[in-house]
Homo-oligomer: A and B are copies of this chain.
Amino acid sequence: MIFSEIVIVGREILQGRVLDTNSNWIAIQLRNLGIRVRRIFVVDDVKEEIIDAVHSIVVRKPNIAIFTGGLGPTFDDITTSSVAEALGLELVEDELALKYIAEMCSRRNLPLTKERRKMALLPKGAKALKNELGMAPGVYFKHNNIDFFLLPGVPVEMKYIFENEVLNYLKNLEGREYYKEIYIEVHGIPESDLAPIIKSYKEKYEPVYIKSHPRGYESGLGYIVLHLSIFTGEEKELKLLDELKEDLIENLKNRAKKIAIVDSLK
């Protein structure tokens, strides 16, 4: 098993000014890679808050910690320096990061100012991750046996670096799992009545995870979407999901008004 935690840095999200979609996008990528996300934090652009989140991560010991936001040139872009401070790492001007920034300056016909050079200050030994769509490089380093990735908050830049740099690291990690899921829409049986049925299947089909999501009740046409999902290190265990699906449909078909396999939760 590989556990990951995600830290979104940005006051605009805490103020409700921007809907965070970065954590959702990253969570999808990680799930598709067979990596579990155990915690998402949204923290303020305040040194003490970032340090607090890093300390909490060091205690919780995920395998991977991915940060987004706060890598830019302004005074409140303090993610890298705060993470370094939290971990007791020295910041040094990184040659590769500076090269990336200088290339981008030259491409955009901009001078290499002090503010831009600041983005090349990385924890000693870290690796700069190339950002083709913006000025701030991403940052990778390993510390306390945790892989740290610091990525920009601008979604296209974050995605670019994730797909072109982070993905290569993650693909090579040992311990990734198989993942499979099925959604079943059940009409005509309230969630509270499904609850004991689901519970009765829980042990038998361990490690399949069964979650019920009520949908549409506000319109009076309520139904339940059952989400069956499995993370497992054993490929052969994936068939448990199909067996559970058959079992559930057989059990519910006479009681439900309608049962259907659907694509997603909506």
Residues of chain B within 8 A of A74, CB atoms compared: 191, 194-195, 198-199, 211-212
Q: A15 to B191, Cβ gap below 8 A?
A: no
Q: How far is the CA of A211 from the CA of B9 in the complex (A)?
A: 13
Complex contacts, A75 vs chain B, CB 8 Å? 195, 198-199, 202
Instruction: Report which of B13, B15, B195, B202 forms a contact with A115, defined as CB distance below 8 A.
Output: B195
- Contact of A56 (CB < 8 Å), options: B56, B133, B265: B56
Which of A28, A75, A194, A202 has the largest number of chain B CB atoms within 10 A?
A: A75
Contacting B at CB under 8 A, from A164-205, are 190-196, 198-199, 202
Q: How far is the CB of A159 from chain B (nearest CB, A)?
A: 10
Instruction: Kindly list chain B residues whose C-beta atoms are within 8 Å of the C-beta of A130.
Output: none
- In the complex with contacts A190-B108, A227-B12, A218-B31 CB distance below 8 A: no
Q: Which single residue of chain B is at the shortest CB-CB distance from A10? A: B211
From known contacts A16-B31, A192-B115, A227-B12, infer whether A76 and B211 are also in contact, taking CB-CB under 8 Å. Answer: yes
In the assembly, what is the distance between CA of A214 and CA of B72, in Å?
A: 10
Question: Is A19 part of the binding interface, using a Cβ–Cβ cutoff of 8 Å?
Answer: yes
